Structure 1
Amino acid sequence: MLSHHWWGELLLNGHSFADLESAYGGENYYWALSPVANDYILFEFYSIINLIGFVVRTGNPEHPSDILNGNAEVLLKKQYEPKPVSVAQFSERGTVRISFNQPVKVE
């Protein structure tokens, strides 16, 4: 079971066997079908959480070119800020890894 209550929203079609909850929990992955500009995955929490970091990996060894590149970004909405801000872009290997020095309160 996940430690925080959240819901997710997708504007990204995926395979029927891939679900967002198991991807969030690190148990499986979400396999998108032909993503296009302005597609997104949104995680929204029912209550404010203290975020210490996160990892997003794209692609896999069988399909090394199926990755999100530097044009994709991670937006974070901090508590008391009106809009989300960009906190990271994907590396050339399709990965984002962020660790915060202090927990960040996010909505």
Structure 2
Amino acid sequence: MNHTFSVKLPSGEIWTPTFVSTLDGQKCIGCGRCFRVCSRGVLQLAGVSEDGALIPLDDDDEDEYQKKVMTIAHAELCIGCTACARICPKKCYRHAAAQV
């Protein structure tokens, strides 16, 4: 039986953190706002090649990618604050509650 992870706050309110689960690379414009608000190292900017493959960014290889997008590099480091989703101008993020 799965249960959602929740925390009782000092106010008595129950809070259910939601953790980053997906990021829509088609909507992402690579602005980096989410990267700047995430202090946990969850996100990483990547290049997208002509055929849609993600490639690591390298200052010397700017001709190899068509655009930049944010990726979820370390979802396990997410603390469920949802700051990335709140600042994203394109609403690229989806979060989900942890199941215990």
Q: Same fold (TM over 0.5)?
A: no
- State the TM-score, normalizing by the size of structure 1: 0.26
Higher strand share: 1
Higher relative contact order (CA 8 A, sep 6+): 2
- State the TM-score, normalizing by the size of structure 2: 0.27
Higher helix share: 2
